[in-house]
Every structure is written in C-alpha cells, then in structure tokens.
Homo-oligomer: A and B are copies of this chain.
Amino acid sequence: MLAETALETIPEELGKQPAVRADVEKRGKPAGEILLDRSLHHAAMLKLKDGEFRGRPDIAYHVILDVTSSPIYRAGKLDLYVHTRNDITLSFSKGLRPPRSYDRFRGLMEQLLKEGKVGGKEDLITAERGSFKEIINKAKPSSIVGLSKLGKRRTLPELLAEAGGARPCLVVGGFPAGHFSEEIERSLDSLVSISVQGLDASLVVCRLVYEMEKSVGVE
C-alpha cells in the first residue's frame, strides 16, 4: 500500500492564485477537478499548509505503473491500494493496465477523484473515503510493515521473512519528503529501513515487488 500519497485536486484556498488560474484556463476545468502539481502550481503552493508533502501526482503515477505491470500483480497475487493524505483510498481491479502516458493518467485520476470510479461497468479503479485504519480493518492483513528510513535496518528478503503470514501488508510512503504520520505509525506492527539512503517510493516499490515475486515463486 502506498500511504499518505501526495495525490489530491487543487484545494479551494488556492483557487485565486495566478498559477492556478492560468492552469484552470489552460485545462478548461474548475480548480477542484485538476490535480495539484508542484511542477505547475509551485508559486501558488508556497503558503499551503504542509505544502512540501503535497502536489506530487508523479509518485502515484510511477508506483501504479510499476506495480500493475509486474508479473506478480498480473498473476493476481498482489493487491495495490493507494491511500492519499486526504484519506481517500484507490483500489485497483485485477489485471488493470493504466494508461502509460502521464497526460492520460492525470485525466483518469481527475475523473476518478470526481466520480469515485472509472472503467464503466467493471469499475477498474474505485476511490473511497476512508482512513488508513479503516482500510486495514477491511483488508485484514496478517501483518502490517511500514518502510521508512527511520525503521530498523533489514534487507528486503529479511523484511519479507519477518512480515510472514499469508497476507502481509507492506506500506510505503507516497510523499516526497518527511515520514509517516503518527496515526499511520501507530497502526504498524513494525517499521523497517531497507537502505541507508532515503529512496524514492517507486524505487522501493519496484524492489519490494521483485523480492515478493522471488519469495512467492512467480515467474
């Protein structure tokens, strides 16, 4: 699971900022239906609360593509959840192949956050309100391990062996800087660090998925 992901539409309080108004005009959509993106709205975000952790839709984009294109996901042996810092959780149907281009991905996420689902009758992706704890209570994993530079040092195979159980939930932060909130940390069974360096979420997820495939025996 990607947790507290920096994926949201432009918050109301930024609606009058010039950088936002320019983008609203360019996109032909109201601000509340456009993804907040630091690369476009940087000037508008300077005074935004927790701004340094927000407006990085590229993180979800990379992770969602990396996971859904992996053999273990395609074999139906891995579920992906993307929890956002606004407590919305995206769930993905098995075999989903999201658009590869960022522009199309962005359009899909904007539609999803507006309508709660995309993909027609099949609901390929759904977005529901719910805190991290609520998702966990619903998914009932056998263990919950967070990955963070602040955790105890383990290799990925060690992490997977320790997580154990049939349905471990592995939690990676979907934000560009900082650490999990206290609320998330309290829900974790353990906190593990897989590198002395801070790693990008997509790099962590790629490595995790690869080691999971080796441990489960997916080819």
Question: How far is A206 from B199 in the complex, measured between Cα atoms in Å?
Answer: 13
> Is A56 in contact with chain B by the CB < 8 A criterion?
yes
Question: How far is A197 from B210 in the complex, measured between Cα atoms in Å?
Answer: 14
How many chain copies does the complex carry? 2
A111, chain B: closest CB distance, angstroms: 16
With a CB–CB cut-off of 8 A, which chain B residues contact A207? 206-207, 210
Contact B203 A99 (CB under 8 A): no
Nearest neighbor of A207 in chain B, beta-carbon distance:
B210
> Is A100 in contact with chain B by the CB < 8 A criterion?
yes
Nearest neighbor of A61 in chain B, beta-carbon distance:
B102
Question: Which residues of chain A (161-211) have a CB below 8 Å from chain B?
Answer: 195-197, 199-200, 202-203, 206-207, 210
> Is A62 in contact with chain B by the CB < 8 A criterion?
yes
Interface size range on A against B: 20 to 34
Contact B40 A203 (CB under 8 A): no
Stretch at the interface among A7-15, A64-72, A83-91, A114-122: A64-72
Question: How far is A66 from B203 in the complex, measured between Cα atoms in Å?
Answer: 7
Partner among B39, B69, B195, B219 whose Cβ is within 8 Å of the Cβ of A200: B69
> Is A103 in contact with chain B by the CB < 8 A criterion?
yes
> Is A101 in contact with chain B by the CB < 8 A criterion?
yes
Question: How far is A124 from B196 in the complex, measured between Cα atoms in Å?
Answer: 26
> Is A37 in contact with chain B by the CB < 8 A criterion?
yes
> Is A129 in contact with chain B by the CB < 8 A criterion?
no
Partner among B65, B104, B219 whose Cβ is within 8 Å of the Cβ of A39: B104
A154, chain B: closest CB distance, angstroms: 13
Contact B103 A39 (CB under 8 A): yes
> Is A74 in contact with chain B by the CB < 8 A criterion?
yes
- 4 closest pairs, A vs B, by CB? A39-B101, A102-B102, A206-B206, A69-B200
Query: Which A residues lie at the B interface, using CB under 8 A?
Result: 37-40, 56, 58, 62, 65-66, 69-71, 74, 99-104, 195-197, 199-200, 202-203, 206-207, 210, 219
